[in-house]
Amino acid sequence: MQVLSKMTPVPVTCLEYVHPWTQSCTVATAELMIIGVQYCLRIYAAVYALSLVMRGRVPSLPELKKTLRGWLQSTAFLTTNAFSYSIMMCSLRRLLGSYNFYTASYVPAFFAALISIMVERSSRRALLALYVSNVATETMWNILQSRGLVRSIPHGEIAIFGVATSVLMYCYRKNRQKEYRDSMFDVVRFAIGDSEVMKGDHPSEGVEPPAVQNVVGRAESSQRASKSPKYPLPFIQAAVQAYLQLTGRLKAMGKHKLCRHRYGCVYDTLSSGGRMFSIGLGIQVVMKAVLQMRKFISRPALLRKTFLSKDIARLGLFLGGFTSIYKMSSCLLRHFTDSDSPMFAFPSGLLASVAFAFYSDNTIALYIMWKTLQITYNWGIEKGYLPRVPGFTVMLYAVSTALLFHAATIEPQNLRPSYWKFLHSISGGRICIMDRSGFDVYGLNTSGQIRTMMNLCKTEPILQGRLS
């Protein structure tokens, strides 16, 4: 079959391509709007309800009103993105007289995204742009790979995570007096604490000297040993005393004068890593218990198989390993160089990223990469190093969303399956039954890819009936 140039017009109408289930552009748009509103109301109801629960207190009336407004505004934003895409495709067909490779989806999706993002609150636009750019980066890589222009690099996601994390840790260490605030810094602070933040010219200010630390550590250890509770079984008593003695010795071990943590370097490394391992393991256990509750009830034997498997500890090993390696390498650099510098974040971050192999995931790596780029860009603007580009966030969202819609229409196998299912749900299955056969002339086997992707979702019977 002859492969046409991508600018060559394809003689298909919007009735044949965009909405083959109805002859009216208006009816097709109205259907998408109604379905989109119902879906978006459910999705954002869960999102905003969770945000209220995460506050850990009973919301006030003003907070409830603000949440309600945000819920409705976010619903309007996403619904607008859905039905305006259909409007733009039909309008461009009437204006230009035909479709080509770019106007088949990318151009109308770009304008639809540009309109819809202006409906959303400005405070949420950066978060939305960050999410779609994450998925779009993976999609663009898949597109280039499908054309033979790039090749996958073994453990490439670990390399991306390592470089991005190193830059992020450098920014965190340079953020001495919390000059720049970002939620990602709160996550980093939770994982490794404030001991790796350089504050002022004397990082050890306010921290006891090592000699005092040793005395305090021994005193605390002996006090705990003398006041430890009495257990009925001797071996439990012995185990508790052995644990208290061990932790006391680790706390009393020396540390470098520039280390800001309270106790010895070994204790700080092990305790921080153990805490993060416990948190990661707890998250995995809770998620498995909640998401597979029905399976456990019907098949109790799965409990032992699930909670004793190696996979249950993968997140804990990643979080605990990353924290331990990062903190220990930072302490060793201070011991060997007798100095402290934000530049230590780069070797420490790269070494710690090895732990990502326990829980390697493209989504996490790309999110950290884009989040780091956002932080460095915004911080550079605040410091006056970089110019502020008006409308950058809006344009990033529009460009990234257009790429995702384009891939879903022309070459969906390059799209992340979860995003395809999202588009399928918000369109009520209509994305599957758009007739793309006219675009097979571009040599991408579009129709064959659609048939493969349809197996991921179930198209609504009413739509199948209209096409039969």
- The token duo for 305 is 């198989």
Picking from 234, 263, 229, the residue whose alpha carbon sits closest to that of residue 246 is 263
Q: Residue 222: its pLDDT value, please?
A: 47
CB 163 within 8 A of CB 366: no
- pLDDT digit string, tens, across residues 207-251: 444 443 444 444 444 444 445 455 556 667 666 676 666 677 666
CA distance 174 to 364: 24
Q: Give the pLDDT confidence of 324-377 residue by residue, as tens digits.
A: 999 999 999 998 998 888 899 999 999 999 999 999 888 899 999 999 999 998
More confident residue, 221 or 153: 153
- Take residue 369 and report the two structure tokens written for it: 């990469």
**Rounded CA separation 137/59 (Å):** 38
Q: Which residue has the higher pLDDT, 254 or 264?
A: 264
Confidence of residue 461 (pLDDT cuts 50, 70, 90): very low
Task: Give pLDDT tens digits for 63-102.
Answer: 889 999 999 999 999 999 989 999 999 999 889 888 989 9
- pLDDT tens for 400-449 read 999 999 999 999 999 998 899 999 989 888 888 888 888 888 888 888 88
Mean pLDDT calculated for residue range 266-292: 86
Distance separating alpha carbons of residues 77 and 57, to the nearest angstrom: 28
Task: Using a cut of 0.85, tell me whether the model's pTM lies above it.
Answer: no
Whether the predicted pLDDT of 140 surpasses 90:
yes
Is 80 exceeded by the pLDDT of residue 252?
no
- The pLDDT value recorded for residue 187 is 86
Q: What is the pLDDT of residue 3?
A: 56
What is the 3-state secondary structure of the chain? CCCCCCCCCECCCHHHHCCCCCCCHHHHHHHHHHHHHHHHHHHHHHHHHHHHHHCCCCCCHHHHHHHHHHHHHHHHHHHHHHHHHHHHHHHHHHHHCCECCCCCCHHHHHHHHHHHHCCCCHHHHHHHHHHHHHHHHHHHHHHHHHCCCCCCCCCHHHHHHHHHHHHHHHHHHHCCCCCCCCHHHHHHHHHHCHHHCCCCCCCCCCCCCHHHHHHHHHHHHHHHHHHCCCCCCHHHHHHHHHHHHHHHHHHHCCCCCCCCCCCCHHHHHHHHHHHHHHHHHHHHHHHHHHHCHHHHHHCCHHHHHHHCCHHHHHHHHHHHHHHHHHHHHHHHHHHHHCCCCHHHHHHHHHHHHHHHHHHCCHHHHHHHHHHHHHHHHHHHHHHCCCCCCCCHHHHHHHHHHHHHHHHHHHCHHHCCHHHHHHHHHHCCCHHHHCCCHHHHHHCCCHHHHHHHHHCCCCCCHHHHHHHC
Taking Cα atoms as reference points, which of 87, 113, 160, 81 lies closest to residue 400? 113
